[in-house]
């Protein structure tokens, strides 16, 4: 019975009684966001090897070189997507759990006591998510232009592996943007009555489609982040001469 | 037939400890069955709140191996029985005795929410698509597992100025009703403290009714609060058009 008593005492002193691998999700998110975030920061700092012929890395799109900006333009270009991702309802869950441990997992103790949620600066700015959505949606225009360019070779229309990589990057970014919770609210979520007017009825149809996309928002958030990173890696390796593009058509 | 060891909290508001009990496990048993067997064989004074044993009354909320869950919905064959099964009362509310907690605070919060207030002189008619959202919220069985797991209440003890996920669901059920005429965004922001919620979705994870609390209730309500209280563009538009926010 002494062994039982020891087990009872130790279970009473732990921060959680959970026995499953609750730490796996926050650790995976921290590693995933950390590795991809560090790579993208490094890529943004390079200010080179971001274009190969008709392929442009999404990290440097739109391609601008403002004279008043002293460092790599990618740090300017990435501000809207960064604003969109940091205020995103999915990423908030991800980084509050993985980096702030607020909480690290459900029913697991937190290491700190001070908590103000999103009612004080800086986290009250999360309420500006809809404005970051407007910017991210506007940015898609540039990225789809890059897709168009990626299929336009000197010899005319063509398909290279790079064309598909850039298409995948922009396609998944579009899905991620269109599955946004704020967008879901704007297209129809704010309405109380979907059947009251003709416009509300059509908005209900759009709201249903966005809701369907929104159910996969987390998936799109990760896939698009991987796809953007993969597109930059591919274009960078081409520009550095490490690999050669595969022409499919 | 196998034997499992249960470590069950025994005590009251002054304190208590986990007590070990051995239970014969049969096929199909849930944790509540084991607790009943302990009551019948070893501890007739063990206090436990239960009612339907069908995951519909919301009475038997507890923490089984650290996970907030309904005891009647937690099967023993889903637990590792080679180790003791730890059963504790839900942590966010004061213990009355053993596995029974005092959840009165929740009913006090509920009283602050203005009830469904129908529009005057409106046709009393609506379509299914208008109430699909509301019907999801009506599935709530008030087990208060979401309130228990919400770290704002559980870890930070914010009970004054915060309502918790269950009551955001309740507000959503009236706020999104096509016939309701009230606007509760000021209440959500100032008295119910929706800003304390940081969207970590634990309420959704533990909900035994699979209500998408965060995505379908809290985030849409947060967006409505932004509409009325944080969106500067809408504010300017309201000023220019002379409309009031809420």
Domain-embedded: residue A37: yes
For B230, the closest chain A residue by CA position comes to A127
Bridging pattern class, strands B2-12 and B85-88: parallel
Q: Is the dihedral of CA A118, A123, A124, A127 positive or negative?
A: negative
Whether A3 is covered by a domain: the verdict is no
Q: Note the pLDDT tens digit of each residue in B135-179.
A: 999 999 999 999 999 999 999 999 899 999 999 999 999 999 999
Give the tens place of pLDDT for each residue, B28-68. Answer: 999 999 999 999 999 999 999 999 999 999 999 999 999 99
Is 70 exceeded by the pLDDT of residue B208?
Answer: yes
Q: How far, in Å, CA of B232 to CA of B217, rounded?
A: 23
Q: Is residue A197 part of a domain?
A: no
The answer to whether residue B96 neighbours chain A at the CB level (below 8 Å) is no
- Residue A113 placed within a domain: no
Range of the domain at A139: 22-107+124-179+216-239
**Residue range B101-119: average pLDDT?**
96
Q: Choosing among B185, B193, B195, B232, which should be mutated to test the A contact, i.e. which has the most A CBs within 10 A?
A: B195
Chain A residue numbers touching B17 (CB-CB < 8 A): 8, 12
Whether omega for the bond prior to residue A45 falls within 30 degrees of 0, making it cis, is: no
Q: What pLDDT, on the 0 to 100 scale, is given for residue A3?
A: 39
Q: Is the residue at A185 inside a domain?
A: no
pLDDT at A184: 98
Q: Assess if residue A79 is contained within a domain.
A: yes
Cross-chain Cβ contact B149/A113 below 8 Å:
no
Q: What is the ipTM of this complex?
A: 0.93
Domains of chain B: 2-101 (3.10.20.30), 104-241 (1.10.1060.10)
8 Å CB contact between B86 and A17? yes
Assign 3-class secondary structure to chain B. Answer: CEEEEEEEEEEECCEEEEEEEEEEECCCCEHHHHHHHHHHHCCCCCCCCCCCCCCCCCCCEEEECCEEEEHHHCEHHHCCCCCCEEEECCCCCCEEECCEECCHHHHHHHHCCCCCCECCCCCCCCCHHHHHHHHHHCCCCCCCHHHHHCHHHHCCCCCCCCCCHHHHHHHHHHHCCCCECCCCHHHHHHHCCHHHCCCCCHHHHHCCCCCCHHHHHHHHHHHHHHHHHHCHHHHHHHHHHCCCCC
Asked if residue A200 is part of any domain, the answer here is no
Return d(Cα B137, Cα A73) in angstroms, integer.
47
Residue A215 has φ and ψ, to the nearest 5°, of -65, -20
| Interfacial A residues in 167-196 facing B (CB < 8 Å) | 181-182, 184-185, 189-190, 192-196
Q: How many beta-carbon contacts under 8 Å exist across A and B?
A: 139
Domains contained in chain A, number: 1
Nearest by Cα to B146 from B63, B204, B105, B64: B204
In a domain, residue A198? The reply is no
Taking chain A (249 residues) in runs of 10, the rounded mean pLDDT of each run is 40 74 97 98 97 98 95 97 98 97 95 91 97 98 98 96 98 98 97 95 97 98 98 98 96
Are residues B126 and A193 in contact, defined by beta-carbon separation less than 8 angstroms?
Answer: yes
Return the H-helix or E-strand segment holding A37.
Answer: helix A24-46
User: Residue B121 — very low, low, confident or very high, per pLDDT cuts 50/70/90?
Assistant: confident
Rounded Cα distance, A128 and B108, in Å = 32
What pLDDT is stored for residue A1 in this prediction? 34
Contacting residues for A241 by C-beta, under 8 A, at least 6 apart:
none
CA–CA min distance B202, chain A (Å): 5
Mean pLDDT (chain B, rounded) = 95
The predicted structure's pLDDT at residue A118: 96
Locate tokens 């009555």: which residue?
Answer: A193
């Amino acid at each position: 019975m002494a062994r039982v008593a020891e087990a009872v005492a130790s279970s009473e002193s732990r921060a959680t009684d959970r026995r499953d691998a609750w730490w796996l999700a926050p650790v995976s998110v921290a590693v995933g966001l950390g590795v991809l975030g560090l790579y993208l920061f490094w890529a943004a700092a390079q200010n080179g090897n971001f274009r190969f012929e008709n392929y442009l890395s999404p990290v440097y799109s739109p391609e601008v070189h403002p004279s008043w900006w002293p460092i790599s333009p990618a740090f300017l270009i990435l501000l809207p997507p960064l604003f969109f991702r940091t205020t995103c309802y999915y990423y908030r869950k991800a980084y509050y759990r993985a980096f702030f441990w607020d909480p690290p997992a459900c029913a697991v103790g937190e290491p700190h006591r001070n908590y103000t949620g999103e009612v004080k600066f800086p986290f009250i700015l999360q309420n500006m998510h809809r404005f970051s959505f407007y910017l991210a949606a506007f940015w898609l225009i540039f990225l789809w232009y890059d897709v168009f360019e990626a299929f336009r070779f000197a010899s005319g229309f063509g398909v290279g592996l790079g064309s598909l990589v850039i298409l995948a990057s922009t396609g998944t970014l579009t899905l991620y943007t269109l599955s946004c919770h704020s967008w879901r609210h704007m297209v129809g979520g704010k309405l109380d009555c979907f059947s009251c007017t003709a416009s509300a009825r059509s908005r209900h149809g759009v709201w249903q489609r966005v809701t369907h996309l929104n159910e996969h928002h987390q998936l799109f958030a990760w896939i698009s982040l991987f796809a953007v990173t993969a597109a930059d890696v591919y274009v960078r390796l081409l520009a550095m001469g490490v690999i050669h593009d595969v022409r499919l058509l | 037939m196998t034997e499992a060891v249960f470590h069950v909290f025994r005590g009251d508001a002054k304190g208590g400890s986990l007590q070990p009990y051995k239970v014969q496990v049969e096929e199909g048993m849930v944790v509540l069955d084991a607790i009943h067997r302990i009551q019948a064989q070893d501890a007739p004074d063990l206090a436990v709140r239960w009612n339907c044993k069908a995951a519909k009354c919301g009475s038997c909320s507890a923490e089984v191996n650290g996970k907030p869950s309904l005891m009647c919905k937690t099967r023993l064959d889903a637990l590792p029985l080679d180790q003791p099964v730890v059963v504790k009362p839900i942590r966010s509310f004061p213990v009355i005795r053993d596995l029974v907690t005092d959840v009165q605070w929740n009913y006090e919060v509920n009283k602050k929410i203005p009830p469904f207030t129908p529009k005057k002189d409106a046709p009393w008619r609506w379509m299914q698509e208008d109430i699909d959202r509301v019907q999801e919220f009506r599935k709530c069985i008030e087990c208060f597992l979401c309130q228990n797991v919400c770290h704002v209440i559980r870890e930070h003890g914010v009970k004054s100025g915060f309502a918790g996920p269950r009551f955001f669901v309740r507000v959503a059920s009236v706020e999104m009703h096509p016939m309701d005429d009230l606007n509760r965004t000021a209440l959500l922001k100032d008295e119910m403290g929706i800003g304390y919620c940081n969207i970590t979705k634990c309420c959704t994870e533990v909900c035994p009714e699979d209500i998408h609390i965060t995505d379908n209730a809290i985030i849409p309500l947060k967006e409505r609060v932004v509409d009325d209280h944080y969106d500067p563009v809408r504010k300017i538009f309201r000023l220019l058009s002379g409309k009031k926010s809420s």
